[in-house]
Amino acid sequence: MVIISQLIRDLAAYERASHEATATDEQLRSALFGTDPHVFCHVGEVEGVVVGFALWFLSYSTWTGESGLYLEDLYVRPEFRGRGVGRALMQTLARTCVERNLLRFEWSVLDWNAPSIAFYHSIGALSLDEWTRYRLSGQALLAFSRPQPSQDAGA
Q: Give tens-digit pLDDT for 40-54.
A: 999 999 999 999 999
Measured CA to CA in angstroms, residue 71 lies from 96, 106, 141 at distances of 12, 6, 24
Chosen CATH of 2-145 out of 3.40.50.970, 3.40.630.30, 3.40.50.300, 3.30.2320.50: 3.40.630.30
Give the mean pLDDT of 32-45: 95
Annotated catalytic residues are 120
Query: What is the model's pTM?
Result: 0.88
DSSP three-state, residue 6: helix
DSSP H helices in the chain = 2-14, 25-33, 85-99, 114-122, 138-145
